[in-house]
Amino acid sequence: MATLNEKKTCSERMADFRRFVWNPETKLFMGRTLINWVWISLYYLAFYVVMSGLFALSIYCLMRTINPYEPDYQDQLKSPGVTLRPDVYGDRGLKIYYNVSDNKTWEGLVTTLHNFLAAYTPAAQHLNINCTNNTYFIQDTFDGPNKTKLSCKFTADMLQNCSGITDPTFGYPEGKPCFILKMNRIIKFFPGNGTAPRVNCSYVGEEESRPLDVDYYPVNGTFNLHYFPYYGKKAQPSYSNPLVAVKFLNITRNVEFKIVCKIIGAGITYNVHDPYEGKVEFKLKIED
Amino acid sequence: MVKKRSDVYSVEIYGTKDLHKTEIEDEEEKHKDQKGNKKKKKAEDLKKELDLDDHRLSTSELEMKYGTSIDKGLSSARAAEILARDGPNALTPPKATPEIVKFLKQMIGGFSILLWIGAGFSWISFGIQLAQGVDSAFDNLYLGVVLALVVILTGIFAYYQEAKSTNIMASFSKMIPQQALVLRDAEKKELPADQLVVGDIVEIKGGDRIPADIRLIFTQGCKVDNSSLTGESEPQSRSCDFSHENPLETRNIAFYSTTCVEGTATGIVINTGDRTIIGRIASLASGVGNEKTPIAIEIEHFVYLVAGVAISIGVLFFIISVSMRYKILDSIIFLIGIIVANVPEGLLATVTVSLSLTAKRMAKKNCLVKNLEAVETLGSTSIICSDKTGTLTQNRMTVAHLWFDNQIYSADTSEDQTTQPFDQSSPSWTALSKIVTLCNRAEFRPGQENLPIMKRVVVGDASETALLKFSEVILGDVMSIRAQNRKVAEIPFNSTNKFQLSIHETDDPHDKRFLLVMKGAPERILERCSTIMINGKEEPLDSEKAEAFQTAYMELGGMGERVLGFCHLYLPEKEFPESFQFDTDSMNFPTSSLCFVGLLSMIDPPRSTVPDAVSKCRSAGIKVIMVTGDHPITAKAIAKSVGIISATSETVEDIAKRLNIPVERVNRREATAAVVNGMELKDMSSEQLDAILREHAEIVFARTSPQQKLIIVEGCQRQGAVVAVTGDGVNDSPALKKADIGIAMGIAGSDAAKNAADMVLLDDNFASIVTGVEEGRLIFDNLKKTIAYTLTKNIAELCPFLIYIIASIPMPIGTITILFIDLGTDIIPSVALAYEKAESDIMNRRPRNKRRDRLVNQQLAVYSYLQIGIMQSVGAFVTYFTVYAEQGFLPSTLLGVRVNWESNAINDFEDSYGQQWTHYQRMYLQWTGYTAFFVSITIQQVADLIIRKTRRNSIFRQGLFRNKVIWVGIFSQIGIALILTYGLGHVTALNFTPLRFQYWFVAVPFAILIWVYDEIRKLLIRRHPGSWWDKNMYY
């Protein structure tokens, strides 16, 4: 079998290309006459306008079917994630290292906490109501202003020693640092099945059996049930997550510890793939 | 002597010189010297090695030279020694590319190189990320590994396919192991021919293939057919005499791979294997390199196109992403994604499979394709140079006409005749039939009583065979008729007498006369006759009757038929009593004043399927050129009867005859047909040949040697044609190699021809070539559809990356997922398109113009990429946004979130409803998005598959259910998607997740839209042929 060889030199190729771009004999620009280019461009313009229109129409239809208050599905949100403040991320997850004698190492951490708690000042919380019931705060109707639902107040002072009010340094210089835990919001999620979920922190790894000396704020480290369920941003625009603060009282200096804080309660599950579902793990090392 | 010899070989050597010339034209200038030298050296080698003197030696000298004995042969031990020294007596197959090179070629050919680049980048970014300690570094490692695996697996697959088709061929050539009768240790033994060594004494008989070059030492009526070597079709007699200085011409040497037609002979093997004459020619022929096939060029063109798009979009977006302040590493990862999305990984494998499916289908129709790509080449053929004998004709002489009682009768010449329809009542016919039956030495081989007459094997030459079969068909058992008419004397045919005579007792017990029957060249027979039989009565042969004979003879001869005259004489009982001893040497019986009975004319008739096939070629715009070694008149007659020269067209000579003017004065342009003699061709310049090929639509080359075939092929190729050439002889191999597609004859073809060819015609039938052409054209159309189908989804795979980079939305589809589409769901459907039936009669359009009609043209690419591909992307994006919106992320929140979305550190990422997501929860949603995107591409690919069934006709006309394999494709596509989503949905590494069922249907309206849009496109194309729409939308 042979040969349909069309070997061309480089200059021939260039000439061919130039000819393709503009062929003076046939008056073809890139293989088409100019008027042809206009037509084809117009066709594609129209085509894409129609396609964009169809896309817009589809999205519009989609939005029409969407409930503004809550999503149709919460397939991935079976159990809430848990986050920690201060949150300093190392290569593999949270890693909080500081030196008690070096201000610079912990000032950033303290600032993070202050900033975080800024949303929990009475002023920031003034739209919310005081709740006292220790049961789920179920609202079937829109009782709030502008067709919203009411949210319970959570103020920083509920965190007592870790509120940053009595101790603006959150115990960091003393080596008894406060950490604040937050449970992610999930619409219509009822944690604990009637009992308030609580936080429990412990060492992990080699130190597992070692008791961890820790104070929880509010007492017992519970998330009060009246903060649940969450009804969504549109229904509860001023909702703020309840918090639990943990204060580690007796951390051996200059040793890196791995600590996990789990939220314990019915409906809160843990996932091997997800290090932040229902719990939060972090490394802590306090130097002096 | 040397000078004389080179004269004789001129054909050979010029043949190879012509090869250099054309090769050199193709090559770059710099290779010229080197190459030329090499070839020259080879040719000189050939000359030198031809210094054979064995034909001059006496028997005893030969015995001495080869250390053998004519009575005892070689000893087995000695033979084994020589065998070890010289190697087996077989032609070395042309040097094959080493398997590892073939394999590596598959590894780096086509898109592989792009994918290797992608894999390389993946590993580089893995290295960098590992050094930086990034969590997701290993993803890139895996991606690189997967890409490498894809390349290696598709490479292995392509290699396997290639090897499989080569194996078919290999098994074919091994089908008939040749045996030879050898004298060794003073015993006659049957040995496989490849065990022969120099000095062996071999015996051959009629019908055998000569197992090596042999010097004959004993012969008995031996004739050999040297056509595979020299192209002469007439058998040549062989004896022990040293008759010519030139070993090729001398009578006492028989050459390897020629056949012994009749007689027996014994000879000493003087050359074996590659050292035989044939071996040397074959090795010269294998020097003509294989070059790219049209489909290879098309695929290369397509690979360039896609690679060009991939690289330019990749680089463009690399620049965009860098200037959008993405990290370089991220930009590289985007680049990998863009490359993977753009490259149709599975396509080349699909093309290979489609081609091999077609090859299989063609093999069923007796076209065995050696080289997969030749499948399509056959389809783009614009000129077929066909042999006559055996290809266009049945390759057996058959009685075509009879003349007796002053009248010409036509006989049935079809392949499966069982009766003859002409009028057999005349007593003249009875007399004629008796002569035909008795004056004939041919016999059926015993044990074939159950075979149809036409299929029986006959011992005897071609015309005697024809006569034997003819009489067997009409009269029944010829052998018993001959037995009843015992033969008492016989003079066999020889070229000086030009007649054959035999004397028989009659089958009438009361009639004691002897019957003398004679046949031979009509004019010679007539000379010996004084009377002629008309309606059973002997009448004197006067000038009027002689005139009638002449007219009939001329007419039959003019039809290119071989005419034989028949006469008889009842010898008077008185002079030749029962006891009379006939002596054929002294001829003690009359051989003149006989009674002329009639004429029979024979021809090798065309195969019955051929005229139809030729007219198909004609409507398909394929020029059929007949190239034959036969006489121009015969060639023209056959050409006319099969339609190569149509009934109305005339040659220059015909016009001259009709207008009664000299040939020179005829306007050559008026003649549509031409019969070119090989002698004329020899003296023609290539310009003259070009002129003939250009000016005449119907051409017959007669009296050509196989070497001239090469010249004709080159001439056709100069016209820009894709040329298919048939051939059987060794000397055809250069032409077979040179042609775009060389077709070797499976039955008559020599191994060298089969080696050189791209295709083997199992039944030697021209009509099979035409079915091959049809399949070839169909596969070209279907490959277009396959490629259009495959390219479409590339846009739907590419857009996500582009939009991801520009709009910073969460990644809509993952690289691994893309690979699952390209190599998973899409493979079977794209192969299924190869089974699609033709949309219209493909044999009614002109052959593809290899420069203009590309496999992947601009329209195909643009329509697939910029229209259907965009529709698919829109459909897939709608699904993507639906999934995200229903899980909490409305489209507006998705824009610009990429950095936070992908951040490991953010585990309370807020959605549109105020809910908060950890990183893993988001990633899981992202994989659900991948799955949804994947599913909607799959769903839309179903619509794409359906629309690609046709390019012009409505799907409803083509029939939705005619091609069942398409449905296999559709179900497999959906099945694989179901397995991936629900079966493997929990294997996180694959990034598939179980998907809510309704998301399978989001893209359905877009799938329908694609179908409707394409139907409208086809409708407008059909309604407005030649319009702007047709030009831009028809691919």
| Contact residues on chain A for B928, CB-CB shorter than 8 A | 75-76
Per-residue pLDDT averaged across B236-249, rounded?
Answer: 78
Confidence of residue B388 (pLDDT cuts 50, 70, 90): confident
The minimum CA-CA distance between A180 and chain B, rounded to whole Å, is 14
B402 CB-contact burial (10 Å; exposed 0-12 / middle 13-18 / buried 19+): buried
Residue B265, H or E segment: strand B259-271
Kindly report, residue by residue over A29-75, the tens digit of the pLDDT: 777 788 888 999 999 999 999 999 999 999 999 999 999 999 999 98
Cβ(B534)–Cβ(B507) below 8 Å: no
Confidence of residue B1011 (pLDDT cuts 50, 70, 90): very high
pLDDT of residue B11 exceeding 50: no
Residue A178, H or E segment: strand A178-183
Closest residue by Cα to residue B798 from B485, B167, B370, B341: B341
pLDDT of residue B288 exceeding 60: no
Cβ(A185)–Cβ(B916) below 8 Å: yes
**Is B18 labeled as catalytic in the residue annotation?**
no
For residues A238 and A222, give the distance between their C-alpha atoms in angstroms, rounded to a whole number: 21
Kindly report, residue by residue over B906-955, the tens digit of the pLDDT: 999 999 999 999 999 999 999 999 999 999 999 999 999 999 999 988 99
Structure tokens at B590: 């009359």
For residues B442 and B262, give the distance between their C-alpha atoms in angstroms, rounded to a whole number: 11
Our CA dihedral for A206, A211, A217, A220, rounded to 10 degrees, sits at 120
Per-residue pLDDT averaged across B733-749, rounded?
Answer: 83
Residue B486, H or E segment: none
Annotate B348-367 with b (16+ C-beta within 10 A) or e (fewer).
bbbbbbbbbbbbebbbebbb
Q: What is the DSSP letter of B407?
A: E
Residue B669 φ then ψ, to 5°: -70, -20
Residue A163, H or E segment: none
Closest residue by Cα to residue A124 from A112, A135, A132, A116: A116
pLDDT of residue B745 exceeding 90: no
Pairing of strands B741-745, B759-761: parallel
Minimum-distance CB partner of B874 among A54, A75, A275: A54
For residues B322 and B1028, give the distance between their C-alpha atoms in angstroms, rounded to a whole number: 41
Lowest mean per-residue pLDDT among B77-91, B539-553, B992-1006: B77-91
Q: What is the pLDDT of residue B462?
A: 82
Q: What is the pLDDT of residue B47?
A: 43
| Contact residues on chain B for A54, CB-CB shorter than 8 A | 874, 1009
Sign of the C-alpha dihedral computed for residues A91, A94, A100 and A105 taken in this order = positive
- Residue B74's SS3 state is strand
Confidence of residue A242 (pLDDT cuts 50, 70, 90): very high
For residues B72 and B616, give the distance between their C-alpha atoms in angstroms, rounded to a whole number: 59
| Contact residues on chain B for A87, CB-CB shorter than 8 A | 905
Confidence of residue B212 (pLDDT cuts 50, 70, 90): confident
Bridge partners of B502?
B490, B517
Q: What is the pLDDT of residue B1004?
A: 95
* 3-state DSSP helix/strand/coil % of chain B, to nearest 5: 55, 15, 30
Q: What is the pLDDT of residue A29?
A: 76
**HEC string for B126-169:** HHHHHHHCCCCHHHHHHHHHHHHHHHHHHHHHHHHHHHHHHHHH
Q: What is the DSSP letter of B823?
A: I
Closest Cα in chain A to B914: A233
Q: pLDDT higher for B415 or B481?
A: B481
For residues B23 and B1027, give the distance between their C-alpha atoms in angstroms, rounded to a whole number: 43
Q: What is the pLDDT of residue B96?
A: 64
Q: What is the pLDDT of residue B942?
A: 95
Sign of the C-alpha dihedral computed for residues A130, A136, A140 and A146 taken in this order = positive
User: How many CA atoms lie less than 13 Å away from B731 in the CB half-sphere?
Assistant: 24
Lowest mean per-residue pLDDT among B8-22, B35-49, B433-447: B8-22
Q: What is the pLDDT of residue B26?
A: 38
Per-residue pLDDT averaged across B650-658, rounded?
Answer: 85
Q: pLDDT higher for B33 or B262?
A: B262
For residues A85 and A108, give the distance between their C-alpha atoms in angstroms, rounded to a whole number: 11
pLDDT of residue A235 exceeding 60: yes
Q: Which amino acid is at B41?
A: K
Confidence of residue B857 (pLDDT cuts 50, 70, 90): confident
Closest Cα in chain A to B25: A5
**What average pLDDT does the structure give for chain B?**
83
Confidence of residue B559 (pLDDT cuts 50, 70, 90): confident
CA angle, B126 then B130 then B131, to 5°: 120
pLDDT of residue B246 exceeding 80: no
* pTM for the full predicted model: 0.78
Confidence of residue B49 (pLDDT cuts 50, 70, 90): very low
Minimum-distance CB partner of A71 among B877, B913, B996: B913
Closest Cα in chain A to B755: A1
Q: Which of B387, B758, B781, B822 is catalytic?
A: B387
Closest residue by Cα to residue B908 from A211, A181, A261: A181
Residues 6+ positions from B931 with CB-CB distance below 8 Å: B817, B980, B981, B985, B991, B992, B993, B994, B995
Q: What is the pLDDT of residue B12?
A: 35
Minimum-distance CB partner of A274 among B26, B886, B920: B920
For residues B797 and B811, give the distance between their C-alpha atoms in angstroms, rounded to a whole number: 11
- Residue B286's SS3 state is coil
Kindly report, residue by residue over B337-377, the tens digit of the pLDDT: 888 888 888 887 888 888 888 888 888 888 888 777 788 88
Structure tokens at B882: 């639906």
Q: What is the pLDDT of residue B36?
A: 44
| Torsion region of B896: left, alpha or beta (phi above 0 gives left; psi -120 to 50 gives alpha) | left
Q: pLDDT higher for A134 or B90?
A: A134
Q: What is the DSSP letter of B769?
A: H
Closest Cα in chain A to B881: A59
Q: What is the DSSP letter of B519?
A: E
| Contact residues on chain B for A66, CB-CB shorter than 8 A | 885-886, 890
Confidence of residue B282 (pLDDT cuts 50, 70, 90): low
pLDDT of residue B28 exceeding 50: no
Confidence of residue B541 (pLDDT cuts 50, 70, 90): confident
For residues B551 and B129, give the distance between their C-alpha atoms in angstroms, rounded to a whole number: 98
The minimum CA-CA distance between A4 and chain B, rounded to whole Å, is 7
Q: What is the pLDDT of residue B2?
A: 37
User: How many CA atoms lie less than 13 Å away from B482 in the CB half-sphere?
Assistant: 18
The minimum CA-CA distance between B682 and chain A, rounded to whole Å, is 24
Pairing of strands B383-387, B259-271: unpaired
Structure tokens at B333: 């990862």
End-to-end CA distance of chain A, in Å? 83
Per-residue pLDDT averaged across B386-394, rounded?
Answer: 83
Closest residue by Cα to residue B509 from B493, B529, B486: B486
Cβ(A79)–Cβ(A85) below 8 Å: no
| Contact residues on chain B for A58, CB-CB shorter than 8 A | 874, 878
User: Considering chain B, what percentage of its residues have pLDDT values greater than 70?
Assistant: 90
For residues B555 and B536, give the distance between their C-alpha atoms in angstroms, rounded to a whole number: 24
The predicted complex's ipTM stands at 0.93
Q: What is the pLDDT of residue B135?
A: 66
User: Considering chain B, what percentage of its residues have pLDDT values greater than 90?
Assistant: 22
Query: Are residues A2 and B740, on separate chains, in Cβ contact within 8 Å?
Result: yes
Mutate to test the interface with A, among B908, B991, B999, B1033 (most CBs of A within 10 A): B908
Per-residue pLDDT averaged across A176-199, rounded?
Answer: 91
Q: Which amino acid is at B679?
A: M
Closest residue by Cα to residue B677 from B697, B705, B649, B654: B705
Query: Are residues A89 and B904, on separate chains, in Cβ contact within 8 Å?
Result: yes
A10 CB-contact burial (10 Å; exposed 0-12 / middle 13-18 / buried 19+): exposed
Cβ(B211)–Cβ(B256) below 8 Å: yes
Minimum-distance CB partner of B890 among A66, A70, A83: A66
Pairing of strands A93-99, A279-287: parallel
Q: pLDDT higher for A20 or A234?
A: A234
Q: What is the pLDDT of residue B95?
A: 62
Q: What is the pLDDT of residue B881?
A: 95
Minimum-distance CB partner of A1 among B371, B886, B891: B371
Residue B511, H or E segment: none
Per-residue pLDDT averaged across B799-816, rounded?
Answer: 91
For residues A221 and A178, give the distance between their C-alpha atoms in angstroms, rounded to a whole number: 13
Residue B681, H or E segment: helix B678-683
Kindly report, residue by residue over B148-177, the tens digit of the pLDDT: 988 888 888 878 877 776 665 555 454 445
For residues A113 and A126, give the distance between their C-alpha atoms in angstroms, rounded to a whole number: 20
Lowest mean per-residue pLDDT among A107-121, B181-195, B639-653, B972-986: B181-195
Closest residue by Cα to residue B485 from B437, B444, B443: B437
Query: Are residues B908 and A184, on separate chains, in Cβ contact within 8 Å?
Result: yes
Q: How many CB pairs under 8 A join A and B?
A: 164
| Contact residues on chain A for B297, CB-CB shorter than 8 A | 4
| Contact residues on chain B for A44, CB-CB shorter than 8 A | 866
Lowest mean per-residue pLDDT among B66-80, B277-291, B443-457, B580-594: B277-291
Per-residue pLDDT averaged across A257-268, rounded?
Answer: 91
Q: What is the pLDDT of residue B929?
A: 94
Structure tokens at B385: 């140079």
Query: Are residues B1028 and A83, on separate chains, in Cβ contact within 8 Å?
Result: no
Cβ(B137)–Cβ(B130) below 8 Å: yes
